[in-house]
Amino acid sequence: MASDGTPDPYADPLVFGQRLQILRTRRGITREQLGGLLGFTGSWVKGVESGRLKTPKLEIILRIAEILRVADLADLTGSQTVHVDLFVGPGHPRLAAVKAAVDAYPVRSEHEAPPVAHLRARLDRAWAARHRSPHHREVVGSLLPDLIRDCQAAVRQSDGAGQRRAAQAVLSETYALCQFFVAYQPDAALLWRVAERCLIAAQESEDARAIGVAAWLAGQAHRDSGPAHFGAADAVNLESLEYLMPLLPDAPDEVLAVAGALTFEAGYTAARRTETGTAWRYWDQARAMAERLPADYYDPITSFSRAIMGAHAVTVAVELHAGSESVRQAAAADADTIRSRPRRARHRIEEARGYQLDGQPDVALATLDKAYEAAPETIKYNGYAKRIVLEETESKNPARRRRASELAVKMGVLAA
């Protein structure tokens, strides 16, 4: 029995339909919502949950797992032979050290904190290293523990309100970098702890940029928690935009960029709700903000820029389940203009989702190969990529099945 009183989906003898009902209810999704996202009706979902209809094929099970963001496929199927982490990665080797640095509660300073300018330079180098590296979690995970400890010490040892606010801004951005590392790893509580500390430090800094970045990441955490949390995602995004909007006429590029990123996030959440008009309206507003930035500007945290808007258009179309529009937007987007390797890999995954929606599985797999080339540590932690690959390992086409299986082995989804 779970802490909220609902049955544990691991417990026997629960069958597929019962597990589906439990997991769907926990995500706050109605039968009609789930059925609509799958291309079925609420009555069909009820039939599966009640056992009146048989267990769906693997393709549908994987789509259900994607919608419900089921961490382990065995939670849904009940079979202990199909442990596949979808939206939770395997746990990076450096996770324990990062977690220890976050969890520490130092009340005394055992060493003199570096100057804020020095911390700022280290943080900038860390972001740059993340964007350059195909193994970005390894790079970031090696830098974070010392950076977190030094930034915390800088806040404690601040001399005066101004210095303390500056230190809080750097600490907030360090937690933002940490959230990128922690996301999709098997410690949801740690993710939320980091997100909340990022918000608190940003508020204490009174820095518009830091406040916007913290809100941008918190909104994503809420949105990725499922439909029951979409309202919280909207509240964080839109309230932060309301705070930033009066500043924009004279704002530096970095503040305008974070406002643009927040605007797109509101559209992303609308797309998850399948609110087509609202999603594209926010995308249009974000594009207008991007056009106010210099042509070569690329935000080191949000990736917001003119170059990213094509990738964002693909994401909106995919979340709206518009296959042909996704492919059209993918053809118009230029992945090579995305400077960040992990962000470029993420875009390739979104393109692959579009091709899969459009009934082009071979192109989808080829696109996932490109994602793997750009950043293996991105695709290995991405549930959408895993779903596509697993689905195609069951293909009736031998060549496609072999290609999918080879990619699944590289991703660590299947054993060699």
What pLDDT does residue 9 have? 47
91 phi and psi angles, rounded to 5 deg = 90, 110
214 in Cβ contact with 202 (< 8 Å): yes
Structure tokens at 140: 């970031």
Residues 143 and 155: their CA atoms lie apart, in Å, by 19
Higher pLDDT, 39 or 202: 202
Q: Is residue 71 part of a domain?
A: yes
69 has a pLDDT exceeding 90: no
Residue range 2-28: mean pLDDT, rounded? 70
What pLDDT does residue 109 have? 66
206 in Cβ contact with 220 (< 8 Å): no
What pLDDT does residue 1 have? 46
206 torsion bin: left (phi>0), alpha (psi -120 to 50), beta (else): left
Percentage, residues of the chain above pLDDT 70: 93
Cα 204 to the chain's mean position, in Å?
26
332-352 pLDDT, tens digit each:
999 999 999 999 999 999 999
Residues 387 and 365: their CA atoms lie apart, in Å, by 11
Q: Is residue 386 part of a domain?
A: no
Residues 315 and 220: their CA atoms lie apart, in Å, by 14
Higher pLDDT, 295 or 109: 295
> Domain range for residue 68?
16-77
Q: Partners of 85 in the beta sheet?
A: 72
Q: Is residue 264 part of a domain?
A: no
User: How many domains is the chain built from?
Assistant: 1
Residue range 28-49: mean pLDDT, rounded? 89
Residues 218 and 216: their CA atoms lie apart, in Å, by 6
Q: Is residue 142 part of a domain?
A: no
Residue by residue, DSSP assigns 358-410 as TT-HHHHHHHHHHHHHH-HHHHTT-HHHHHHHHHHTT-SSHHHHHHHHHHHHH
66 in Cβ contact with 27 (< 8 Å): no
317 has a pLDDT exceeding 90: yes
15 torsion bin: left (phi>0), alpha (psi -120 to 50), beta (else): beta
84 has a pLDDT exceeding 80: no
190 in Cβ contact with 182 (< 8 Å): yes
134-156 pLDDT, tens digit each:
999 999 999 999 999 999 999 99
Q: Is residue 38 part of a domain?
A: yes
Q: Is residue 68 part of a domain?
A: yes
Burial (CB count within 10 angstroms: exposed 0-12, middle 13-18, buried 19+), residue 200: middle
292 has a pLDDT exceeding 50: yes
Q: Which residues contact 158 (CB under 8 A, 6 or more apart)?
A: 164, 166, 167
244 in Cβ contact with 276 (< 8 Å): no
What pLDDT does residue 416 have? 54
Residue range 227-244: mean pLDDT, rounded? 94
285 in Cβ contact with 278 (< 8 Å): no
What pLDDT does residue 15 have? 83
Q: Where are the alpha helices (DSSP H) in 105-229?
A: 116-132, 136-156, 161-182, 188-205, 208-223
What pLDDT does residue 415 have? 58
Q: How many residues does the chain have?
A: 416
Residues 283 and 266: their CA atoms lie apart, in Å, by 9
- Nearest CA to 288 among 309, 268, 319? 309
What pLDDT does residue 220 have? 96
Residues 229 and 344: their CA atoms lie apart, in Å, by 27
What pLDDT does residue 62 have? 82
Residue by residue, DSSP assigns 240-302 as HHHHHGGGGGG--HHHHHHHHHHHHHHHHHHHHTT-HHHHHHHHHHHHHHHHTS-TT---TTT
Residue by residue, DSSP assigns 110-134 as SSPPPPHHHHHHHHHHHHHHHHH-T
Q: Is residue 37 part of a domain?
A: yes
Residues 121 and 197: their CA atoms lie apart, in Å, by 21
Structure tokens at 320: 């709206």
CATH code: domain of residue 40: 1.10.260.40
Over the Cα atoms of the chain, what is R_g? 22
